[in-house]
Amino acid sequence: MLLNLKQVQALDLILNILNSRYSYSSNPLKLVVKINDSLWKGNFVNFSSDDYYLHQEYINSFGFIANESLEFEDVITQLSNLKLNKYKNIKPSTLHLLLIDLVNIIKDLDTSNIKLNLNSILYNAVNLEGSISLPFILLDDNSKFEVISIVESD
């Protein structure tokens, strides 16, 4: 399934929220996407499960690192209607059902309503086909990403 960057970020945001609410496994769940014919996992959003906020860092006009924090419902208003407790009984063996359901929701998401212009970055990037781990990968805003799977993070 090909999704644009904002859709993948929204999907990752939902997955982060689910990770913070439910214990599907001992490790958090991560998206696996295809980037330039290679499989990668990481974080498309900077979400804090401590306060349920999405954090966006930037360099302000004074040259300092600043942080904008928003509740996830404020970022993507359509998510406030999403009944996340529907996914509380997902098991590692049924992650494919979770992915199918979430991708179907995201496909219909109006990404023009996303209030925060998120950085086009894959944070904590890990290549699943080799031994490459990077703190981040800068992504093209106009790219389409093939969502492959959900896996437990190491």
The predicted structure's pLDDT at residue 81: 67
pLDDT-derived band at 148, boundaries 50, 70, 90 = very high
* Residue 78 scores a pLDDT above 70: no
Q: Tokens 């499960």 identify what position?
A: 49
pLDDT beyond 60 at 116: no
Q: Is pTM, for the whole model, over 0.75?
A: yes
In the three-class reduction of DSSP (H, G, I as helix; E, B as strand; rest coil), residue 66 is classed as strand
Model pLDDT for residues 81-102, shown as the tens digit of each residue: 678 888 988 888 999 999 999 9
CB atoms inside a 10 Å sphere around CB 105: 14
- Rg, the chain, Cα only: 15
Q: How many CA atoms lie within 13 A of 27 on its CB side?
A: 8
Nearest to 31 by CA among 52, 11, 2, 4: 11
